[in-house]
Amino acid sequence: MKYLLCIISFAFVLNCNSKLKENVKQEETSEKKVYDMYEPSEMANLMNEMYAINAKIKADILAGNTLEEFPSAFLEIHTAELSDFKKRNAKFEAFSNIYIQAEKEVFNTESSLPVEERFNNAVGVCISCHQTECTGPIPRIKKLLIK
């Protein structure tokens, strides 16, 4: 009977030891996990910058401040690198050109249209373009509209 208890105890210790080794292996592999971190493209960063600039323009318009000059950062829309899965196409280029013209019109002091309308036209171009591609930001862009 003593021998039987010794054998069972020995088997139990071996079984526990092998489970301990499995746990150590699992911990080692989990420590080596490398996560892909999202890195926004140049265009995504530019779009965020353009949003911030337009939010400031909106605040200036609502405060009755005189707008400064057309932000040259907007012109980078023609050269900023897109996300890997996106391609520049004729539609994107056409919307880019229309957008730049609409933004320049916001700063046109000789225009007969009220500045609020000109600003909303520029924001409308953003929304129109995003309806053909990347629709996610539309709710955020709509917040720029002056009501």
pLDDT tens profile 47-83 = 999 999 999 999 999 999 999 899 999 999 999 998 8
Contact 146, 61 (CB under 8 A): yes
pLDDT band at residue 46, thresholds of 50, 70 and 90?
A: very high
Residue 106: burial class (beta carbons within 10 Å; 0-12, 13-18, 19+): buried
Taking only the tens place, the pLDDT of each residue in 18-40 is 555 565 556 555 566 777 788 89
Residue 37 is encoded by which pair of tokens? 């971190």
Average pLDDT, the chain: 85
Q: Could you write out the DSSP letters of every residue in 111-144?
A: -SS-HHHHHHHHHHHHHHHHHHS--TTHHHHHTT
